[in-house]
Amino acid sequence: MSTTYQQDLFAGKTALVAGATQGIGAVIANQLAAMGARVVALGLGQGDGTLSPAVEVREADVTRQDDLDRVLADLPALDIVFNCAGIIKRGEEHDVEVFQRVLEVNLTGTMRVCAAVRGRLKATRGCIVNTASMLTFFGGGLVPGYAASKGGIGQLTKSLAIAYAADGIRVNAIAPGWIATPLTQALQDDPARSGPILARTPLGRWGTPQDVAQAAVFLCTPAASFMTGVILPVDGGYMVS
């Protein structure tokens, strides 16, 4: 864990991270646990082996209300909720059924989790962080479903920030840019495609899951107590270049 944050900052807090058994979600779950939180990770399967032993894993599909009801049954209070569950089907999303599935996981799944935890977060005046994307702000020819879902996450985040404020719940989002994960490995390995990406990125490198996690966790800290409805880019400046 980076030394950016004190290790006991979330001591006594309970965090739920949906889509946390691999990738960015797993890094966020690990960081929250390292900072003292009890962390419950939701995902399909037990993950890729990167989760800390301190993180409790529960299998759940965010598209199934019965799954969420089951895993939340013994969590009467929550302080922090991250929505990281998502899929992308490059080149397949022009098929309407694939398009619909991507939206069901990425967008409706996020709303389903937010609605399910609202009462618990009201009790603690907690916070939600959703996962948007640079494609929240512009389109992608190979990924219309992903781009549409992430655009929807932006508007959902703003809408819930307004609706949940009366409950004392803050709702924000992170918007990762080009991040070095297994999903982008093919791009990283292809100089013809990675070259233009790095040329447009002012900081001149791929982002890391840790870069995203640091910013995401910031939105849950006391330092962000007057922030809600924010979509925070973590992209090395790509979107403004």
Express each pLDDT in 30-87 by its tens digit.
Answer: 999 999 999 999 999 766 778 999 999 999 999 999 999 999 999 989 999 999 999 9
pLDDT for the residue 213: 96
Q: Is residue 5's pLDDT more than 90?
A: no
Instruction: Please tell me the distance from the alpha carbon of residue 168 to that of residue 166, in angstroms, as a whole number.
Output: 5
**Range(s) of the domain holding residue 133:** 14-180+209-234
Radius of gyration for the chain, computed over Cα atoms and rounded to the nearest angstrom: 17
Q: Over range 7-25, report the average pLDDT.
A: 94
Q: Is residue 129's pLDDT more than 70?
A: yes
Q: Work out the pLDDT band at 19, boundaries 50, 70, 90.
A: very high
In a domain, 226, yes or no: yes
Q: Which of 5, 146, 164, 238 is catalytic?
A: 146
In a domain, 203, yes or no: no
5 vs 202 pLDDT, higher one? 202
In a domain, 105, yes or no: yes
216: domain CATH number is 3.40.50.720
Q: Is residue 118's pLDDT more than 60?
A: yes
In a domain, 123, yes or no: yes
235's CB contacts (< 8 A; 6+ apart) are 134, 175, 176, 177, 178, 201, 207
Residue percentage of the chain with pLDDT more than 70: 98
Give the number of domains in the chain: 1
6 vs 12 pLDDT, higher one? 12
Q: Is residue 1's pLDDT more than 50?
A: no
* 149-199 tens-digit pLDDT: 999 999 999 999 999 999 999 999 999 999 999 888 989 999 999 999 999
In a domain, 6, yes or no: no
For the chain, give the mean pLDDT: 95
Task: List C-alpha distances in Å: 7 to 3, 34, 35, 89.
Answer: 8, 6, 4, 37
In a domain, 110, yes or no: yes
Q: Over range 12-22, report the average pLDDT.
A: 95
Is 25 in contact with 19 (CB distance < 8 Å)?
yes
Q: Is residue 26's pLDDT more than 90?
A: yes
In a domain, 163, yes or no: yes
Residue percentage of the chain with pLDDT more than 90: 89
Q: Work out the pLDDT band at 3, boundaries 50, 70, 90.
A: low
22 vs 59 pLDDT, higher one? 59
Task: List C-alpha distances in Å: 81 to 3, 118, 186, 205.
Answer: 22, 10, 31, 29
Instruction: Please tell me the distance from the alpha carbon of residue 79 to that of residue 76, in angstroms, as a whole number.
Output: 11
In a domain, 7, yes or no: no
Q: Is 5 a catalytic residue?
A: no
